[in-house]
Amino acid sequence: MLQFNSFRKTFIVLATIPLGIIGVIFGLLLFRSFFGFFAFMGMISLAGIVINNAIVMIDRIKIEIEESGRAPFDGIVSAAQQRFRPIMLTTFTTTLGLIPLYLGGGLMWEPMAVSIMVGLLFATSIILLFVPVLYKMLFQVKYENQETS
């Protein structure tokens, strides 16, 4: 909250955490794994990654609106477009990097790998839409049609 100096921005960041948890539950069920200490550690790691993605997105929205001089709606759209590729690349590299841990980690490390992999894939796919839409709703940003004559 100190970084953003805003309750609404902090709420947006914290609201992304349950999206990762939903993905963890879905992943553990899908891979028929179990929830234990290491799956919980994976969930905590996932929360950190998801929070980082949301902070980066909100910070980019701020930069687009304040420093680029764009209209708020255009700033949100531009920020979402600009951060799409970097967020997806980090998600895919993390997921692909955890596949060996899933395959060879045994009963101890497999739940953690599944938690991070599926939770991150699920959360990222939703966060890329969720954060900009929630930002628009909480800050009451209106679409302004700027037609050129």
| Alpha carbons 123 and 106: distance in angstroms, whole number | 25
Q: Where are the alpha helices (DSSP H) in the chain?
A: 7-15, 17-30, 37-66, 72-104, 106-138
DSSP 4: T
pLDDT in tens, 90-102: 999 999 999 998 8
pLDDT digits (tens, 9 = 90+) for 9-63: 888 888 888 888 888 999 889 988 888 899 999 999 999 999 888 888 888 988 8
148 pLDDT band, cuts 50/70/90, is very low
Given a cut of 60, is residue 149 above it in pLDDT? no
Residue 102: both structure tokens together: 């899933």
HSE toward the beta carbon, residue 53, CA cutoff 13 A? 33
Domain ranges of the chain: 38-138
Residue 3 has pLDDT above 80, yes or no: no
Average pLDDT, integer, range 78-105: 90
Per CATH, the homologous superfamily of domain 38-138 is Multidrug efflux transporter AcrB transmembrane domain (1.20.1640.10)
